[in-house]
Structure 1
Amino acid sequence: MKFSRRPPDEPEINLIPFIDVLLVVLIFLMLSTTYSRFTELQVNLPSADAEKLQDRPAEIIVSIAADGRYAVNRKAVDGRSVELLTAELAAAAAGRQDAVVIVSADAMAAHQSVINVLDASRRAGLARLTFASQSGSR
C-alpha cells in the first residue's frame, strides 16, 4: 500500500466580505461627517477711511511690535513690563492729563501686549486713548 500525501491547501482570504464591510463603514463615515464650513466664524475686520488729523503736541504714540516690544514716541522701552511702560507714558505726558495715547499695534502682536498698554495708560492717569489703523483699500 502506497499512501500518497497531498500538500495541504494553502489558506486564502476571501476579499468579498471584507470589501462589503469597508463599503458599509465608508457610507457610515460619509453620512456622519460634519463639515467645518458651517462651524466657521466669519469675522470682517473694520477699516478706516478717515483723513489723518493734524498733529497735536499732546499726542503720545505707543508702538507695539509683533514680538511684543514697545516704543513710546519712537523711543524703545527697555522691558516689557507694565510698570516700565507706565513710567515711560508718565514721562512722555509730562504732567498733562489731556494727552491722547495713540496705540499703533502690529497686526500680529499679541492681545496681551495691547492690554498692557491700556493698563499702563490707566495707571499713568491718561484716559484718552485711540487706536491707529491703516486706511482701507476697498
Structure 2
Amino acid sequence: MQFKRQVKAEEQVNLTPLIDVVFLLLIFFMVSTTFTKETHLKIDLPEAAGALQVSKVDQIEVVIDAQGGFSVNGRALVNKQLSTLQAAIQEVSGDDTSIPFIITGDANTPYQNAISVMALAGKMGYTNLSLTAQEPEEGEAGALAPD
C-alpha cells in the first residue's frame, strides 16, 4: 500500500495579536500622557533705590588650624582666646542660635581646641552642631576599609 504523505503547511507567525497589543499600548500612553502648555511672560520689575541690607548668614563655620588659631566664616581672629571667638560668633550670628554651627579642624589640631569650641557653642545656645572631616583617599595609609 502506498500512503500519500501529507503536505505540511508552512508555519507562519500570526502578527494580528501583536499588532493589537501595540495599538493598545499606544492608546494607553496617549491617554495617560499629560500635555502642558508653557507660557513665557515678559515681566518688567520695578526699580527701587535705597541702602543694601546685610543679609543673614546661613551658617557659622569655625575653622581651627594646626596651631590652634580660629577663623569664623573665613575671617581669621587676632588671637587664640575663647572670648575673642565668642565675640566674633556673636557679631556674625546676631544672637540667632538656630543656624547651623560647623566646626572644621585641621588633622593636627589639638583635641582640646575642638572640645573648647564645642563647649563654647553649647554655652552660647547653639544646638545644631556639626563636625567636618575629609574622606580618606583610596590606598592612603591608615584609611579604614569598609567590611
Q: Percent identity?
A: 23
Distance apart, 1:133 and its partner CA: 1.1
Taking structure 1 as the reference length, what is the TM-score of the superposition?
0.55
How many residue pairs end up in the alignment?
A: 83
Higher share in helix = 1
Aligned to 2:118: 118
Aligned to 1:94: 94
Aligned pairs for 1:10-21 (under 5 A) are none
Which amino acid in the other structure matches residue 125 of structure 1? G
Distance apart, 1:58 and its partner CA: 2.2
Two-structure CA RMSD over aligned residues (Å) = 1.8
Which amino acid in the other structure matches residue 121 of structure 2? S
Which secondary structure state, in structure 2, belongs to the residue aligned with residue 102 of structure 1?
strand
Which secondary structure state, in structure 1, belongs to the residue aligned with residue 103 of structure 2?
strand
Aligned to 1:60: 60
The Cα offsets for residues 36-93 of structure 1, whole Å up to 9 and x where unpaired, read as: xxxxxxxxxxxxxxxxxxxx94211110000000000010112212211111112111
Q: Distance in 1 between matches of 2:98 and 2:72?
A: 17
Aligned to 1:82: 82
Which amino acid in the other structure matches residue 72 of structure 1? V
Q: Distance in 2 between matches of 1:112 and 1:90?
A: 22
Q: Could you list the runs of 4 or more consecutive aligned residues of structure 1 that deviate by over 3 angstroms after TM superposition?
A: none
Q: Which structure is richer in relative contact order (CA contacts within 8 A, separation 6 or more)?
A: 1
Segments of structure 1 that go 5 or more residues without pairing to the other structure are 1-55
Taking structure 2 as the reference length, what is the TM-score of the superposition?
0.51
